[in-house]
Copies of this chain bind each other. A is one copy, B any other.
Amino acid sequence: MSTKSSPRTPARPRSSTPNRRERVPDHRAAGAPAAPAFRPIHTRRAFEEICERIREQLALGVLKPGDKLPPERDLAQQLGVSRNVLREALRSLEMAGVLRLQKGVKGGAFIQEGDTSRMNGVMRDMLSLGTISVRELSEARVHVLDLVVRLACANARKADLDALEANIRRTEDATREGRLLDRVECSREFYKLLAASTGNKVIAMIMDSVTEIHMRFVYAKVSSSGVAMARLAEKRRQFLAALGERNVASATRLMRTHLESVQRMLEQDPGAMSLHVALAEVQPGMRR
């Protein structure tokens, strides 16, 4: 770590030093003692820099959803990096939901509308990595749901209530026809609609993120054991009535007791419930 530029390359086998970014083309043999402009521009990794710059353009409003980035070949040249490295950055941004990459003529990298389900993946990773526990997640869900119910009571519009009503009807159909897993799908949608009816997308996002994993467990439980909540649609109707009347006390009480019964259902025969299976399993209608 003395001179920061002391290469002890044995013999420099290939004589051709390709244009290695802004590095001077190796004049050391001429006796020049460590050229002043020798320090490379970047100390961090190139792809981090690129991600950051694109996010900066986004934050500054220079880039907006729908905008298209230059073609990979052009952009790579503009940034002075290889196409491969640029692609690493674009891929990361795509996984983060910021970009969409599209092939073909008129294709390119397009800035996306924000995907509110992105938080779900974070929650799932935290769970997979053991940073958070199922217990913490369940507990958080109870509290968030309590908040959501209160906000929904305050803010739900007729369209929201209608959507919930329609959802309950689908739940009734599924129940009548014994389609248990479809009913789980209905539940997933019910909570999503409820979250949306708060009128606050941040709250809704948070709610969805704590609900998604929970529904995986319910799905796994129902799928493996065949058990199912009794009188689900009926309870939903009671809840919806309370919501329509803006009766916070009643709505929160109904939801809380329902959650408790679901929790009891999940906890019976606990050995069958594997975090790993629930997390790894790919389910219909689930953003993988």
Contact = CB atoms under 8 A, between A and B. Distances in A.
A119 to B, nearest CB: 5
Contact of A92 (B59, B91, B124, B205): B91
A59 B126 CA distance: 10
A243 to B, nearest CB: 18
A25 to B, nearest CB: 25
A166 B288 CA distance: 44
A116 B129 CA distance: 11
A129 B118 CA distance: 13
A261 B130 CA distance: 39
Contact of A202 (B87, B92, B114, B140): B140
A131 interface: yes
Contacts of A137: 202
What copy number does this chain have within its complex?
2
B151 A201 contact: no
A250 interface: no
Interface stretch (A28-36, A93-101, A218-226, A228-236): A93-101
A66 to B, nearest CB: 10
Interface in A199-217: 200-203, 205-206, 210
A24 interface: no
B200 A59 contact: no
A95 B99 CA distance: 14
Q: Which 3 A-B pairs have the closest CB atoms?
A: A114-B131, A140-B202, A59-B279
